[in-house]
Amino acid sequence: MTRVAIVSSASGSGKTTLGREVARRLGVPFYELDALHHGPGWTEATADELRERVEPLLRGAGWVVDGAYRGKLGDLVLRNADVVVWLDLPIRVWLPRLIRRTHRRVR
């Protein structure tokens, strides 16, 4: 059973990219919590709505989850994980990535 939570200190640290690759290599589903949290027009799910979306996914035998949303989910994701990967890259790495991504999305 492999359940991996990938969390980071900053946006642009690569948790989604890493999460997709780890899930592919392990042969388990990948879940991006941002996609479950944000609805049309960037509306945010309530804590209860997000929990209803996430809890069933965490019951699976294996998964990789990008994020933890501790403000809304508490330790739900982390306590269900077998492994937690914490990405804490220097600003010189994640800031240019974040700027490029934001620029692409604006265009």
pLDDT, tens only, 19-57: 999 999 999 999 999 999 998 888 999 999 999 999 999
Task: Give the pLDDT band (50/70/90) at residue 1.
Answer: low
Token pair for residue 62? 């294996």
Q: Are the beta carbons of 6 and 19 closer than 8 angstroms?
A: yes
* E strand or H helix at 18: helix 15-26
The structure's pTM equals 0.84
Count Cβ neighbours within 10 Å for each residue of 72-106 and write b for 16 or more, e otherwise. Answer: bbeebbeebbeeeeeeeeeeeebeebeeeeeeeee
Q: What phi-psi label fits residue 85: left (phi over 0), alpha (psi between -120 and 50 degrees) or beta?
A: beta
